[in-house]
Chains A and B, each alone.
Chain A
Amino acid sequence: GAGVSQSPSNKVTEKGKDVELRCDPISGHTALYWYRQRLGQGLEFLIYFQGNSAPDKSGLPSDRFSAERTGESVSTLTIQRTQQEDSAVYLCASSPLPEGFGGELFFGEGSRLTVL
């Protein structure tokens, strides 16, 4: 597709369940980011993938959060044993340039997660 695609767009789950969020970056973009946006707050960095390098996981809030990316394609963000504080919009972005090179991030429309 022309842009970053995320699915599902909305997810309602019960506390304690696992959820998986998917991101399809723009073709050819080597960098992929996951951010979280809680209601009324800014974007919180979670994880960054650059090509085949080891990901920067420094933003993951706990070991319940993990993410994978195969090469320069799809990424999945998994949240295990969800908690109510995990409720947020999870945003994926891709970029044609590695971080630090001033490249524009292209964002998806986000996956809104609600944990009951």
Chain B
Amino acid sequence: AQSVSQHNHHVILSEAASLELGCNYSYGGTVNLFWYVQYPGQHLQLLLKYFSGDPLVKGIKGFEAEFIKSKFSFNLRKPSVQWSDTAEYFCAVNAGRRALTFGSGTRLQVQP
């Protein structure tokens, strides 16, 4: 069965710090990879996705993620975080025709 691991459960950063959130998945075949974000009081929304092609994908608000097939990883990065990036971030994988599987989430707190 496919699974997704997010290693950091709670991350606290100061504004302008760089961010990297880890995501690893377990599935050997072709995968679609996603990062979703949930801002306080809002619903989940798509941040970025990898479907095929360039393994470095760029999303909204300056976020990017790199798909490294050999490491089964899809880490999320942002060079300089802002207070408004405070949210919960979920990595998700869709393999074959199975429903999207989500990680347990990483809560990011950015201090001004």
Contact = CB atoms under 8 A, between A and B. Distances in A.
A4 to B, nearest CB: 8
Q: Which of A33, A59, A107 is most buried by chain B, counting CB atoms within 10 A of its CB?
A: A107
A43 B90 contact: yes
Nearest to A34: B99
Nearest to A35: B102
| Interface magnitude class on chain A | 20 to 34
Contacts of A35: 102
Contact of A102 (B32, B90, B96): B32
B105 A42 contact: yes
A31 B99 CA distance: 11
A108 B4 CA distance: 22
Interface residues on B, range: 20 to 34
Contacts of A48: 99
A99 B98 contact: yes
8 tightest Cβ-Cβ pairs between the two chains A and B: A42-B104, A43-B102, A102-B51, A107-B44, A100-B97, A102-B32, A42-B102, A109-B43
Interface of A: 3-4, 33, 35, 40-43, 45, 48, 56, 59, 91, 93, 98-100, 102, 104-105, 107-110
5 contacts: A45-B102, A99-B97, A99-B99, A104-B49, A107-B36
